[in-house]
Chain A
Amino acid sequence: MKSGSNLEKVLSSGHFAVTAELGPPKSCDPEVVEKKAEILKGFADAVNITDNQTAIVRTSSIATGVIVARKGLEPVVQMTCRDRNRIAIQSDLLGAAALGIKNLLCLTGDHQSCGNHPQARGVFDLDAIQLIDMVRRMRDEKKFQCGEEMSVEPRFFIGAAANPFADPFEFQVIRLAKKVTAGAEFIQTQLIYNVEKFARWMKMVREMGLHEKTYILAGVGPIKSAGAARYMKNKVAGMDVPGEIVERLQAASDPKAEGIKLCLDIIEQVRAIEGVAGIHIMAIEWESAVPEIAERAGLLPRPQID
């Protein structure tokens, strides 16, 4: 055990893991977080707390993670390289560990131009791989990035993201390998709507044996409407939403119900792919859908491991 987190336990004991996502509010109201945590509690092994997702300012992911943990739900704190240099990141990680955070997802981060402060200077002192490497050395070698030693090390279960739909396709697998080498113990993927392409990607992952070195959680999520699907298809970089999906939602009499049905179909398909160790359900601002999805996908109850 690297961290002793619930998520790490679930995965290492061979269970099919379920993680969800919880977006902090654009305010400092803790009740919003608490409400969402209550909804998700018992339906996921851990929940990701996003770090100023899409470069929009929100409550800090570490603080939100602590609130969530108080509610009895295990957080996966996300950490991006956009807003902090290596000094700030290390400092924040020490703080997070001191507050009991055990899971860390390391990301480069969406570009500041995507968010609500496009004039901000992007830091990008490190990239995601360099971040993973740094966190692993902090934990395993008890060293700061500069090489200095520390007495008590932060013990994180280190995660990273992967996007099977970005280009160049083949290179994304190489990049995954680099992340694994750097120290990524679990991987959460971009939202999957093109299962065929994901399966091809997984094939390459398996060929490189990466699925044996890291836990791969397939990113899934319900879509509320054909309009939302079309938006993701056309406007969101790094997303691959096939036309049939848009058409399927378009044709549905109750698009929301169809969106959940679609998500369940995809879960069923990705579960069958060798090397997929769990799913990561992204239902941002639709957290209430997570229990239904977990239930109908037959993923309940969640295992309790001591």
Chain B
Amino acid sequence: MIIADRKPFEEIKELTSKAKNILIAGCDSCVAVCLASGEKEVAVLASELRMQRKMDGLEGEIEEIVNVRQCENEYVDAMRDKVEKADLILSMACGVGVQTLAERFPDKLAYPALNTKFMGRPVEPGVWKENCEGCGHCILHLTGGICPVARCSKSMLNGPCGGSQGGKCEVDPEIDCGWQLIYDRLSRLGQLDALVEIMLSKDWSTSWSGGPRRVIKESAGV
């Protein structure tokens, strides 16, 4: 799922300083599951803003709303009544949600309250790690189910660099060396042979480098 993290309050304060009525819009999808959004985080931010604005002598109302997925037109459109009363929608969704709001409500300001980080998963309560960067061409079958594109700091495809030590990455000892993990897993599976093959230059055109992407499923078209 998409992992996000709330922006520092100082930044949110700046973003909202000129607005009068603010609608804080949460999303109950990925970002709620990673505890960055959902009714509770929306209420917490609303409470913070109310207090800060009262102290700063700012007028206006802070409204709260949460919908199922802020990246779907139908759900976002259902917010219309509340949106109309607001000068600013402060989105607590991922970047996709913010853009959906901007598109559906072209005359309203839609600002992000979160920083969208990556696609990943919780590895322990309160800790999420990156697993996939959406390169558009999956090679997990070749690398023991561990992605070298997302989990090697250099996206190397032919093994670890010289900075791999004790299973850790040279960038930060908190980061596991993706290639150590691949090596360990393939050695457990008895498939180390696969690593002898040279993996040739990756076609990055399927990734973000190929420009904003789209997926079309003909049969799903209405």
Contact = CB atoms under 8 A, between A and B. Distances in A.
On whether A and B touch (CB less than 8 Å), the answer reads yes
Interface stretch (B38-46, B66-74, B78-86, B165-173): B165-173
B60 interface: no
A152 interface: no
A34 interface: no
B171 A111 contact: yes
A209 to B, nearest CB: 14
B179 to A, nearest CB: 8
Interface stretch (A170-178, A249-257, A263-271, A290-298): A170-178
B161 A108 contact: yes
Interface in A5-56: none
Contact of A111 (B154, B160, B184, B201): B154
B183 interface: yes
Contact of B157 (A114, A127, A172, A190): A127
Interface residues of B, number: 31
Contact of A161 (B158, B162, B171): B162
A127 B158 contact: yes
Interface stretch (A71-79, A128-136, A194-202): A128-136
B177 to A, nearest CB: 7
B195 A171 contact: yes
Interface string B143-163: 000000000011111111111
Contacts of A130: 157-158, 198-201
B170 A110 contact: yes
Contacts of A109: 154
B159 A171 contact: yes
Contacts of A145: 201
A126 B170 contact: no
Contacts, number: 104
B180 interface: yes
Contacts of B55: none
A238 B170 contact: yes
Interface string A262-304: 0000000000000000000000000000000000000000000
Nearest to A86: B201
Contacts of A140: none
A26 to B, nearest CB: 22
Nearest to B173: A237
A167 B166 contact: yes
A168 B186 CA distance: 12
B99 interface: no
Interface in A77-119: 81-82, 86, 108-111, 113-114
Nearest to A162: B162
Interface in A127-173: 127-130, 133-134, 145, 161-163, 165-168, 171-172
A237 B161 CA distance: 10
B165 A167 contact: yes
A239 B49 CA distance: 50
Given A134-B201, A238-B162, A111 B153 contact: yes
B164 interface: yes
Contacts of B162: 161-163, 166, 190, 237-238
Interface string B19-47: 00000000000000000000000000000
Contacts of B200: 130, 133
Given A125-B204, A161-B162, A237 B170 contact: yes
B127 interface: no
A168 B184 contact: yes
Nearest to B154: A124
A177 B159 CA distance: 12
Interface in A164-218: 165-168, 171-172, 174-175, 177-178, 181-182, 190
Contacts of A125: 201, 204
A171 B183 contact: yes
A81 to B, nearest CB: 8
A119 B196 CA distance: 34
A163 B170 CA distance: 13
Nearest to A127: B156
A178 B154 contact: no
Contacts of A82: 154
Contact of A126 (B161, B163, B201): B201
Nearest 4 CB-CB pairings of A with B: A163-B162, A237-B170, A237-B163, A127-B156
13 contacts: A111-B171, A122-B153, A124-B155, A125-B201, A127-B157, A130-B200, A167-B167, A168-B184, A174-B192, A174-B195, A175-B158, A177-B196, A238-B162
Interface of B: 153-167, 170-172, 177, 179-180, 183-184, 192, 195-196, 198-201, 204
Given A113-B153, A167-B165, A237-B163, 9 more contacts: A108-B161, A114-B171, A124-B156, A125-B204, A129-B199, A130-B157, A166-B165, A237-B165, A238-B164
